[in-house]
Amino acid sequence: MKRYLMAGAIAFVCASATAFAGGMKEAGGMMHKGFEQLDMDKSGTLNREEGMAREDVKEYWRDIDFNMDGVVDQSEFSAFELEIKEEADEAK
């Protein structure tokens, strides 16, 4: 049973990455800037300055930058998006 849950989580992350690639992301009725929009110089990572453009990213920067290399890559960003989505679902 757990295996199916894991597969679902992976599918969700992939779907999120696709949504970012599309440039638009809608979560809980709120429009957030996606990874592609925050990545102003198209480097494939967000530096701190780019992250500051979004309020929740700014607030949780230290948590989002999981490996603490000073930049947030797509997988770190997706993990953060998944976490805030789960928290929003739990709050319902």
Q: Using CB under 5 A, which residues numbered 58 to 87 contact Ca ion?
A: 65, 67, 69
Q: How far is the CB of 53 from Ca ion (least distance, A)?
A: 17
What binding mask, one character per residue, do residues 13-52 give for Ca ion by CB under 5 A, x or -?
----------------------------------------
Q: State the CB neighbour count (10 A cutoff) for residue 51.
A: 20
Q: How far is the CB of 19 from Ca ion (least distance, A)?
A: 21
Strand residue runs (E) in the chain? 25-27, 30-32, 45-46, 72-73
b/e string for 14-28 if b means 16 or more Cβ within 10 A? eebbebbeeeebeee
Stretch that binds Ca ion, among 8-16, 20-28, 30-38, 57-65 (CB under 5 A): 57-65
For the record, the structure tokens of 3 come out as 């295996």
Number of residues that bind Ca ion (CB under 5 A): 3
Q: Rounded to whole angstroms, how far apart are CA atoms 63 and 65?
A: 6
Residues that bind Ca ion (CB under 5 A): 65, 67, 69
